[in-house]
Chains A and B, each alone.
Chain A
Amino acid sequence: MAWWLRKAGIEGETRVQFRPVPPAMTEAASLRGHTLDVLGLGVRYGAFTALDNVGLSVRAGEVLALLGPSGCGKTTLLRTVAGFVRQTAGRVLIDGAGIDDLPPNRRRVGIVFQNYALFPHMTVAENVAYGLKARREAAPRIAARVAELLEMVQLGALRDRRPAQLSGGQQQRVALARALAIEPSILLLDEPFAALDRSLRLDMQIEIKRLQRQLGLTAILVTHDQDEAMSVADRIAVMRRGRIEQLGAPVEVYDQPATLFVAGFIGTTNRLPCTVDGMARLRLADGTPLPVPAGALPPGPALLTVRPEQLELRDEAGPGCFPVELGLALPLGGQTVREARLADGTPIRLTEPRLGAIRDLGARAFCGLAPGARPALFPRPTPEEE
């Protein structure tokens, strides 16, 4: 009877834990081990280029996040993979075979939509059974499979409800069960957590991640939320203006941003204007030399992007240190985020350990790179390039 009680608890938007995936499903070969390759994909709408020569490979059992601001092409890429948008160039391969000429209903690509797109005139069970009926499965098999999936997402008790009678989280679970019912080779998640409130979002992220692992699903997650991409994805493709700016593991994208845009879009970044001199040394605007290798850049104006945690405050001047005027301190959990200003007025943020000495607002101090910090260095863009 325990599962009954647990199901009763689902009624409110409380902590959700999916049931362990039944062994039959984890062993289902159809869900495991599919790859997706996108080769030189382009989508143009008249003069507007939505996707420009995009190439990426999603490995079997991997979650790849497409991250970027709205209008960057991530949703277009998703819809092209699903078959809703026809590309003007390039190919999409699943398990090495081209699917470009298949209509959406023959691609076996499962989608969870941002608004879930549940069929409002059908019950939860009918929603989940929809894809199975479309595939003309036998009725007993459909019933068994629907029961299995609803059990997995902990919605067995709500099987006869209509979507309008469900909470957001419950609707998302129905959407997930419905997408998984057709045993998709690729699962596409289009901003699936955007409509959930913050605490529930984290729960669902963890549960989906766990489910994906257990089932060995290959998935693409479209999001504009970098935290979500960081926590759920194995790799992140940062997109901008129809192109992929950087594709790599979350840590790699965070620590070694390939472009100034990636550096700015992922996490918090200080942008310090500086100059590379003729001897490949880096100097801050006020002339302070910084111990950062600058050999890769030609002499001229440059921009150093430094994460707040890559900076530290000191009381006395030293090599590589520059004077700052301290601003507000915001205690955030284990750390304090401190605002400060360089001598020329450039605002920066840095983190201080809370245990350290308490400095006053408006006090003067010195700032330098933390030991081991490897900030990224870029040529300073002209205003047009920004």
Chain B
Amino acid sequence: MSPTLSRRALLAGTAALAAPLAARAQKPGSVTAAIYPGAWEEAFRDLVAPALKKSYNIELEMQALFAVDQVAKFAASRGAPPFDCFVLDPGPRATALERGMFEKFDASKLASRAAIPAALVDEWGIGCNAQVVGIAYNPKKLPKPKGYADLFKEPWVSRLGLTGFGTTFGTVSLIEIAKIFGGSETNIDPALAELKKVLPKIAAVSSPAALPGLFQQGQCDVTYTNTQTVTTLKDRGVDIEFAVPETGATTFLTTLHIAKGCENMDAAYKYIDTAVSKGVQDALQKPPYNFIPVNKEVALGKDLPMRSLDEMSKFVTHDWSKINPLRGQWIDRFNREMAK
């Protein structure tokens, strides 16, 4: 038995156990989309599914899967994709792309094509949500920091909340910090070295999920995060403002892709078209979701650090095909350097 075969068998088994009811009915007039559990799943059930039904009479079936699970489940399925569409952040997108999991994407098939900035579309998929990452701080307690370098100085450093490489926004922020101290997209050592120097002063080293709660409770008053978190906390009455670092805001996309071997191409395009349409994007920008829209026809919220989507082409972006192979190590390094 070749190792590859047995690996497939293992993955197939794992996936079968993870979702015993995975066998899906291939109905015409329906599309199956993988979607992140939690807020994304709620948003798509409440907004995308009714719109898709109304516009095209297509039923949306959703499978709640984290990015890693989408990739693993697809890998285990051997040519019969368990869902028609992926939703992925840049890291897993790069992995899936490397492994040939996407169909080619033809944006001209979308009715909303003209409203989507060219930078958000490529031959493999389309952005359905942008994240803009910068610094969040409590304006009642701290002056506005100029950039990431300020986070290592008083008064900010003793009120700083950190997260590691567990999230995309955490990873890109740590890369930006590394760049200031002489590092690069593939060398985050300077960031860790500088963090280690100020570690005893830092207010919190937190899991990403806990950070908004810690900020709200005053455990920390400055951190790097995305605009979505800032807007959400602000809506709850938390004293929080978003600051664009002097090195520039960072941005990345959450993208939709059509799974290789999809037999339902037409419905898949209609699903994607609905997800980026003006109506859905408009609703997604509102609380409680606070997404950054990808549709130019949607008026941007006042708290966002740009007035039009075209400005985003000036924001900092990263090459995840380089980051991905290093990320596991970085997570490990972060654990070791930060551990008490």
Complex A–B touching at CB under 8 A:
no
